[in-house]
Structure 1
Amino acid sequence: MILTSLSREYVKITVDYPLAAAKAFSGLSDSFNFVYVSGEGVCPTYRTTSSFIFGQLTRTQATQEPGRFTPYYGRIKGECEAALIELSKKYPSLKPYSVRPAFVDAAYDPPTLASVMQRPDFTVGKRLLFGTFGPIIRQLYSKGVSPTKDLGRFLTDLAKGNGQPLTGEGVSGNGWIISNAAFRREAGL
């Protein structure tokens, strides 16, 4: 895969900016909780300078081997998750939580839903998909849903919390990577 200017921009926004922010913020206090919103289906990967130029992520660079159907965002966000954990080894004050929500659902959060519906990128097609598949996902795969109010509260609590790694099923990366299932459990859903 050759990186386009759009995919380079995605890497800049999704990896470079969060890493720069985490590094800068880590010196603000003796313990700084950094919360990165990742996504379910992410596969941590690493890239070398040469492989980045060509957009290749090799199996030997992967901390988990991404499958051929692992989406691009999954590889890139996974790279940031892994880099944040590595950064925390250099800056011990940094507590880098990465949360992996799944279907982020604003259906029961009217102010957020109204805001989402007014976004220019929320096209008619997306509205139809959300309106059609949202209820189906909520009914048949509720464990894959991340309600916005609960997710927002959870992310805020992590940022304000004690900076300790989490434990339990669905938590990986030595307690710093929280799956949607772990988020739902911690949020009491």
Structure 2
Amino acid sequence: MELGVGLTTSNANQLDRDKAVWHIYVIVAFLSICNAYHWLAYSASITLLVPQQHLGRASGMTQLGEAVGKIISPILASLLLVTIQLQGIFLLDFSSFLFAIVTLLIIQIREVKTTNNNQADKKLPLQEVRFGWNYITARPGLFGLLVYFVIANFTVSTAEVLITPFNSSLPAHPKNTITTVLLTQPS
């Protein structure tokens, strides 16, 4: 998935030449798919890498890292764009990709213990969804948290979709506005 994100970033420079809105949709959709799989693999690997007694601490560190990254990344991206230009950012992105691949090759992820499930124990997906919904609605605090995150994610996602067209419509903007906006948004 890191490769997909890297390829998407490298194609963002083409936006400055063509300036077609559908290019933005394709790149953002592909980037979203890559990030969704990346997040699933990342969160699953944490439970395999960290001992059971330290999972709470690892979860807290993960959330802290994400929050700090989302706060610092736009500022850092803007500074890097001014200092090392777009080519330097691509080189830095590629270097971080290589670092991630080497790290994955070095670490050892333990095997997942599987159990033999009888066919009688398997539930249909709709039954599992119903069980999950009943579990959440039986706990008012958890249900309130779910409602909060639905509203927050819907609001933020709507705003994120509108930022790029809004910046492009501004009368005085630099030549590389679209690329700058796409590269400085936290993923």
TM-score, reference length from structure 1: 0.29
Structure with larger Rg: 2
The structure whose RCO (Cα within 8 Å, separation 6+) is larger is: 2
